[in-house]
Structure 1
Amino acid sequence: MNNKQKLIQWLQETSFREVTLSVDFIVTGYISYFYLSQLLNATPEQLASIEWLSTVLLEVIVYSIVLMVVSYIALAFISDDELSRPMDVREKQINLVGYKYSAIILQVGVVLALFQYNIAAQDFEFMQSSVPHLPLHILVGAFLAAELAHYGVQLYKGRSGDIYE
Structure 2
Amino acid sequence: MSSSYPYYIVWTGALHLGDTPGVFMDAQYAGLLVQIPITVTFVSEGTDPIVFVITTTEVEIFDNKKHPIYWDWTPGTPLPTPVGYIDDQDLITGQPEKHLLSIPHNSATVGKHWITIQVNPETAAGLRDDFVLRRLEAHESIGAKIGW
TM-score range, shorter chain: under 0.3
Where is the strand percentage greater, Structure 1 or Structure 2?
2
Larger relative contact order (Cα-Cα within 8 Å, sequence gap ≥ 6): 2
Computing the radius of gyration from Cα coordinates, the structure with the larger value is: 1
Give TM-score scaled by structure 2 length. 0.25
